[in-house]
Chain A
């Protein structure tokens, strides 16, 4: 197993703000068109003809040129769709890898194999997945999916059995609880492409069972470090027992600045700018174990931004600034790199980072933080302490 660390960035799929200090969206058409807005913009009183994909393209190019392997492309009811984004950007990026967040229930596995293999051909092998299994509640039914939590994971496992089988062992037949196929194959040119790497998200026991069978990377939001260490150990043990290897990756937002003081000042400004419309995107009806852990930080109850500091450079207020998990890293460039090194020491093999605004922060983090990450070298010295 390589000891190198894989860094991805994130593509925002429902707009982006131009500053973490003032998190109102201004990039994309989730807000009314006004002067200064981006993609679409207003030029001489009319829309300039750009669309949100033009902005997403800018971020993807910034990420690939500043050293990220690619980006996670989330999928929620209010977002644009990751397959469409990936195919649109296939031919105008060079090394950017498209990590499609996908719920296996939504397209059948044979069709998904064809879509993905074609995307491999369109991109020169740059497609991969974040397999998600949905958070239940009203949004699951919004999507038209009425399966219960553990059934959804059962379906995810069958889906990946078939996707891989059709792709690499066709003609492939399978008779499952959720899916069946008789003699499924891909045409030779498509079957010759590599299977996409599989990142897999989910914190429940059902999730770990499915991930250990199929995932290349187990992906989690940032949680308190000791809790994460135990989680990674459990995943790796479960996977070892099946004679497979799995790596672990952490999806985390950063506010990285030249000094710690500036970083906290920006967290504070963002906290205060959103005070008038406090809502915590993670405290909604859901059957997700991972989301419950984020909601337990109760970020929206805080009166002051510093009520939400739970450790060195660790802040649980990110869910107030944007939809997404609560816990993230706030600090100087050096401190951000140190926290990442600690996470590597406790078992992380990769990260999906993000910051607001996604475009400029891709450059900043790529230029200022990644060069300071010592990775496994640091792990040795941290272990020795």
Chain B
């Protein structure tokens, strides 16, 4: 079955700015004739939590929690919603270059224990060297892949083996490995991304899921290349496609919404009526879709109520 993930606006959407202004008292009461009790009570976390619940209730299988330079920490968002959202998987964007691989694995294991193995890691470092240095990360472009591989070796090693020792260029550990109830948990599912040849080679070896943006040049060819490379390692990598969605029972209104939000020309935008979006998703045929929208709450409901049932019904019929 195709999986559907909803992507949370960790950097805010059209509505969360208003939440933050309320929380910071930076805005006068919108209408002074109305007594307003909201001040200092809410911020973007309240909104993110509501969107997460919306996605759960609307039937999404998971939540994608992205890194956004202007936004919240994905780790903290995932933790803060984990006890409110009980079924969906929680996949956080995470850079392997910002701390110890052992410590990251330790955090992941605690998370798995509390959440019933629902954590996934979408691993990536910022591709821009200056942006990395602003995060305190001075690794060279040429070393990014090697570091990612070491990170995976060490984080998987300590989580799955007692007495694990490793000394690499970026990480080391001596007689490490988690014991007792911290051992034997599922490792976070690993999502990687990118459409370069190097990205596909890395994914073929290490990824559980590889994400392509909708509109990726020659998508079918890239997918076929990745699958073939993975097969050489006797592995399978699930394919995810990420898209921004505008949908409505009237296709013209969906396109109007996309235009108003200035996204109608973007290659990763999908705009159409419910049946049109459903059939486009069926045509793309990914193992997983990661969907998002500038009106995150409303769109999660719309897709869950009108699009997912169409896709799932047609898949059941085909099966």
Contacts and interface: CB of A to CB of B under 8 A. Distances in A.
Interface of A: 28-30, 51-53, 77-78, 80-81, 83-92, 105-111, 114-115, 117-119, 121-122, 138, 141-146, 162, 171, 179-185, 187, 189-190, 192
Contacts of A138: 174-175
A4 to B, nearest CB: 24
Nearest to A143: B102
Given A52-B181, A88-B80, A143-B100, 11 more contacts: A78-B182, A81-B107, A107-B103, A115-B73, A118-B75, A121-B45, A142-B176, A143-B102, A144-B171, A171-B134, A184-B134
B99 A141 contact: no
Nearest to A117: B73
B122 to A, nearest CB: 16
Contacts of A145: 100
A51 to B, nearest CB: 5
B39 to A, nearest CB: 13
B30 interface: no
Interface residues of B, number: 56
Interface string B6-23: 000001000000001001
Nearest to B180: A30
Contact of B72 (A105, A121, A142, A182): A121
Interface of B: 11, 20, 23-24, 43-45, 49, 69-73, 75-80, 82-84, 95, 98-103, 106-107, 109-111, 113-114, 116, 130, 133-138, 154, 171-176, 178-182
12 contacts: A78-B182, A80-B113, A81-B111, A85-B110, A91-B80, A106-B99, A111-B95, A142-B175, A142-B176, A146-B174, A181-B134, A183-B130
B103 A108 contact: no
A146 B172 contact: yes
Contacts of A119: 73, 76
Contact of A90 (B70, B80, B175, B180): B80
A182 B133 CA distance: 5
B98 A110 contact: yes
A141 B158 CA distance: 12
B110 A110 contact: no
A108 B135 contact: yes
- 8 closest Cβ pairs, A-B complex: A87-B79, A107-B99, A141-B174, A118-B73, A118-B76, A111-B98, A106-B103, A182-B133
Contacts of A51: 113-114, 116
Given A83-B107, A141-B175, A187-B70, A110 B100 contact: no
